[in-house]
Amino acid sequence: MLTLDEIRLASSRVQLDHRVFEPHPRQAAVAMILAEGRSQLEVCFIRRAERQGDPWSGQVAFPGGRASQSDADACAVAERETLEEIGLPLRPQHRVGPLPMRLVENNASRAALTLWPHLYRVSAAERALAGPRIPQEVADVFWVPLGHLFDEARVIEYEYPGITASVSPGIQFGEHVIWGLTLRVLASFAEVMQRRLPALDGR
């Protein structure tokens, strides 16, 4: 599976125009956090709390959120939100590199959101700090082996909650399903790493 050095090198090739970033709620950032597991790198995910009015209510996500006026750049957004949501302090020395930014259409508000994903790496001791800190926003924090995300046997067709006959590809991990926007960020990661992501083959 991928090593941290391979990930760092591949991410260093991603070119972003940071002048596009504005400290505005239509800008958001997430942290794809890596840490050593038992046999390979593992990735941190959260499950969002179920909240009325939240378009991603109850979904699996990466730690992160919308920009505020105090945020100097996209990394500042991801780091502030990660600390607020799961109590894990991310600093510049934890940064591995960027992933391509994504334009996210919000059907509810009809306003596009610019999402800036960024890769981080923390130690096993730092990893142990991660846990839900805002129960009304984060219901669970869990870590998934990187190889699991690329395992074809874990791919499922996931039925959208509350929407009959609407399905999406997903990755099953225990009781959790990684799908939607989070899966699209993983697709960006796979593309940058030049790896095949079975969950989105042909999509």
User: How does pLDDT run across 95-131, given as a tens digit for each residue?
Assistant: 999 999 999 876 555 568 899 999 999 999 999 999 9
CB burial of 126-161 (b: ≥16 within 10 Å; e: otherwise) equals: bbeebebbeeebbeebbbbbbebbbeeebbeebeee
**Best CA proximity match to 185, nearest among 13, 76, 61:** 61
Does 163 have pLDDT greater than 60? no
- CB–CB of 54/136 below 8 Å? no
Domain ranges of the chain: 4-14+22-148+179-193
Q: What pLDDT is recorded for position 53?
A: 72
What class is the 4-14+22-148+179-193 domain? alpha beta
- CB–CB of 126/146 below 8 Å? no
What sign does the dihedral 179-181-186-187 (CA atoms) show?
Answer: positive
- CB–CB of 143/37 below 8 Å? yes
User: How does pLDDT run across 63-87, given as a tens digit for each residue?
Assistant: 999 999 999 999 999 999 999 999 9
- The whole-angstrom distance between residue 26's C-alpha and the CA centroid of its chain comes to 17
Q: What pLDDT is recorded for position 9?
A: 97
Q: Which residues pair with 60 in a beta bridge?
A: 47
